[in-house]
Structures are given as C-alpha cells and as structure tokens.
Amino acid sequence: MKYSNLLDRSLAVPFAIVASASVVACTSTGPQSPEQGAAAAEVSYTNDIRPIVSNYCATCHHGDDPDGDFVLDTYEDVRGMVESGELLARINDERDPMPPAGMMSQRQRDLFRAWQDGGYLNVGDPAFAPEHEPFEPPLITPVDVTKHGFDLLERLQGHWVGKMNLMGQDMPWFAWDYRAIAPSHVHAIFEGGTLGNLFTSFFVADLRGTRTIMARNGGLLNGIYRTSYFVLDRVQKNGKSTEYRLVDAYGGEGIMWMNLAFTGESLVFTSHTSRLGLAGPPKRHMRFEGRRMHPELARSAAKAVGFPALDAAYDFADGLPLPDWGAGVPVTSYSYIWEDKDLSVLSLAKLCGDPIRIDQMPYLATLRVEFERGARLRDMPMEIYLSRSPLTAADGKFLMRHGYPSTATFDGVLMFSRLTACETEMTFTYLHPGTYYVTAVCDKNGDGYPSAGDLSHKSVKIEVLPRSAGEVRLPAVDVQN
C-alpha cells in the first residue's frame, strides 16, 4: 500500500512501550489487539468513526426532522458533538445511553475518545483531503566533511544511556548503542518488540558531488515500513558543545530535522517532524539526553571494521531516487514508505524503492530468540533484554537492589524489547555483532522493568557473529523474583 493510502496514519513512530503494559488475551485477539489499535493515534473519521455513526446513530440523527434536533451527517457535525463533550457523555452513559437501545462495545466507544486524543484526523476522506500544493524543494547546502564535520561519526560512537521523551511521553531509561559497521558508517537501533523498531545510521556519502554525512532513519511500525534520509547542513559551536544538524535531504528543515549536541561525554539528540509537511512546521518529536558508557563496545567494533575513514559509504551522485507516494501526492521528503503486514522487511524495502536496503547494510546480524510460554504466561507481557553482562545470578534471579536490578547492571542493557501480543519468538534485526546475555522477563507487575514480582531465568550468553543469522532458545521463564 502506497503512502497516498496511508495519509491518515501517524508516521511519527509512536512507541508507547512503557504505557502499553496492559495484559491482552492471546486467544481472542490477533497480534494487534483492538485496545492497542484504539490507543494508537491513527483513528480517523473516515475509517473508524463514520462507519460507527452510520450504523448506530444515523437512523435518528439525520434528515429534516432529526431526533434531538441535530444531525450527525458530516465530519464537522460529529466533531462538534465530541468537542462539546455531549457525545462522549451520552455514549458512555449507562442509564441513558446513545444509541437508546443500549451501549455500544467498549472498543467502539474508545474509538471516539482515541479520535479526539489523536486530533480528529480526517485526512484519507476524499471529501476532506487537504488540497495538495505542488512542493518546491529548497536548496540545501550539505556540509563538506573533507573540510569539517566528519568528527560527528567519531563522537557518536558509544552506548548512550539516559532518558527519552518521545511524542510527549517520558521514558526514564533509554539507550542507543552506536557502533561503527563500516569505515565511515555508524549505526544504532531500538528494537521495540511488538510495535516495531526505530533505527538511525549515519554515514559518509557523496551527495551530488559533495562528500558529506547523511543519516538513514526509520523503522517498521505496525506493519508500516518507513525510511527517511537526512543530510548534514550545519555544524556549530555553542559554548562548550558542538551541534550537528541534519535536515530532510529533499524537503529540508521545513519537513523534518534532527540535532545532535555533544558536550564532553554527554549527548542531547532531538528530532522535529511534521508528518511529512502535512501538519505545519516541524514539531518536537523526540528528545534524548544521555551520557556515554561502555566505550569499549564501540572501540572494538571500530577496530574490526577499519573505522574511521573518509571514504564514501554510498554514492548518490544524482541525488536519491524520488519516492513514489501514489497518484496526486506531492513528494516532500526522501521518505520511502510501504504498508503490508504480511511482507518481510526486505520485500517492503524493495516495494517502496528504499535506496539502501537491510541486505545492503554492512556487518550487521540478525538474532532470533525463541522462548516458551506455559499456560500461565500465555497472556502476559514479556520483555527481552540483551545486555553486556548477565541480568541474573546463577539461580536465575535478577541481580537486584531495593527490588530493581542495580543501576550498574541495568545500565549494561543494550536492547530492550516489549512483547505484548503473546509472541513466543522475536527477531532482532540490524544487530551489532558481539557478545550478549539474553534474558526473557515475564513482566507480571506490568511496570515495564525487571523487578520484584516478575519471572525470569538464568541469562543466556551468546556470541553474535558479523552477518550471521543466529538463533537462541531460552530456558523456561519460571524463576520468581
């Protein structure tokens, strides 16, 4: 499915991993439960609200002499009633519900709330689709890294541990593990689990004759594949910190941009997005603030791949291919997008014309982790941790202090994925080769962290080789903490 059909989806990668601690039933729901669907900010008038209104309300609130003296015929009608608070009040009023015959299902009622929370999306409805102005890309002058700015790649290396704010949501602990994967290419991924992943890699490229640094940022979220390409257009000193800004390599700063500010051993990494120009000027999407830890991980990767060198990892002499977003949609960004829940990452990359595909990324590996869920754990959220040291003692219990793993132990976590759809396996893609300890945790108390009350097993040590497709089968998750 092309972008034109995805216009009313949130392209903003909402990883609500911490908030999605609800327990779902495996038997009654598919990989995406209705509750999760309703919670996602992608509820639109056309796809979700209008069908309910037609089925449950239109018989009475329609025509010349409507019940209650109002109609629910158009987007504006329905939105007005939700905004006034009356609609939500009445559909949730057990004693005097709308429709009068009886309350609708929880899911149907939640959809109205989610539609409100998501900002009353109506794009996707041909009647309300915004007029598409032709887009004239701005002139972008990439930084010539043969003169300055190349040190961004060196500075970026490290296991950055800190806190994250993603779309207004705070995550008190987050980490990016940036390591070299080629002489002029540094990469990190957040493998989120059920919802999807988010990666960013930075590399030297020849872009229309300038040797510069570009970034490839994207992920696979709820079956939507997206990668966007950025280019370094500014390096500046700001007191003690050095800031590097990368803008959309086609649409420039008016579409989206990211900024990395390094001060000593700390990094503030922000990004601003605009739903590809549909939602006004870019607004803050992410702010990560961390400090560099465990530099030996990046150091050994650099040694293994011959990093750093000023060679171009990719050559885009004529720019990147312009993505095809479908008929009538003006392209505003080097963003390659496709949706199909049943296709592999590689097929999706090919369909949307992504100029760099996962199989063309150097050095990285995949790792499939399998585990068993007994009947007791079938519906429970699970977390999979990859860490540089074991999270548990030999008896399978967490190395804890005051009910949580000690800071020193937890700061060694390199990947943290949350599985809420009753999976019994997951595959880590774009994974740095190296030594990991793998720990599956049944998050019984639902706080999103390994802690007292949760179930675990003895952390399993594995060696991930470059370009390998590894597999590990974990022992039963049955040690009570």
Q: Is 52 or 329 the residue whose CB approaches ligand HEC more closely? A: 52
| Minimum CB–partner distance for residue 90 and ligand HEC (Å) | 4
- Least separation, in Å, of the C-beta of 54 and ligand HEC? 10
Q: Give the dihedral of Cα atoms 95, 97, 100, 104; nearest 10 deg.
A: -120
Q: Please, which contacts does 255-258 make with residues 24 or more away whose CB atoms are closer than 8 Å?
A: 255/282, 255/332, 255/333, 256/228, 256/230, 256/282, 256/285, 256/333, 257/230, 257/282, 258/200, 258/215, 258/217, 258/230
Q: Which lies closer to ligand HEC via its Cβ, residue 99 or residue 453?
A: 99
Based on CB atoms, which residue is closest to ligand HEC, 108 or 273? 108
- C-beta of 65 vs 131, nearer to ligand HEC: 65
Nearest approach, Cβ of 100 to ligand HEC (angstroms)?
Answer: 5
- CA within 13 Å, CB half, 54: 9
Q: Which is nearer to ligand HEC, 57 or 367 (CB)?
A: 57
CA–CA separation, 368 and 472 (whole Å): 6
Reading across the β-sheet that carries 469-473, which strands appear in turn?
Answer: 425-431, 365-370, 469-473
Minimum CB distance to ligand HEC smaller for 68 or for 119? 68
Token pair belonging to 286? 């992410």
Phi/psi of residue 33, nearest 5 degrees: -75, 155
Residue number with CB closer to ligand HEC (50 or 272): 50
Supply the minimum distance, in Å, between the C-beta of residue 57 and ligand HEC: 3
**Given the complex with ligand HEC, which of 115 and 150 has the nearer CB atom?**
115
Looking only at the bridges linking them, the beta strands covering 455-456 and 469-473 are: unpaired
* Nearest approach, Cβ of residue 99 and ligand HEC (Å): 4
Report in angstroms how near the CB of residue 9 gets to ligand HEC at its nearest: 25
Angstrom distances, CA of residue 268 to CA of 175, 197, 230, 287, 470 = 12, 21, 18, 7, 33
CA distance 175 to 188: 10
Cα distances from 75 to residues 72, 79, 91, 102, in angstroms, run 8, 6, 18, 24
In angstroms, give the least distance from the CB of 125 to ligand HEC: 18
Closest separation in Å from C-beta 86 to ligand HEC? 4
Q: Compute the chain's Rg from CA coordinates.
A: 24
Closest CA to 127 of 7, 51, 46: 46
What's the rounded Cα separation, in Å, for the pair 231 and 249?
5
Shortest distance in whole angstroms from residue 117 CB to ligand HEC: 17
- Site of interaction with ligand HEC (CB under 6 A): 56-57, 59-61, 67-68, 81, 86-87, 90-91, 98-100
Nearer to ligand HEC, 12 or 53 (CB): 53
Q: Cis check for the bond before 321: say yes or no (omega within 30 of 0).
A: no
CB atoms within 10 A of CB 22: 12
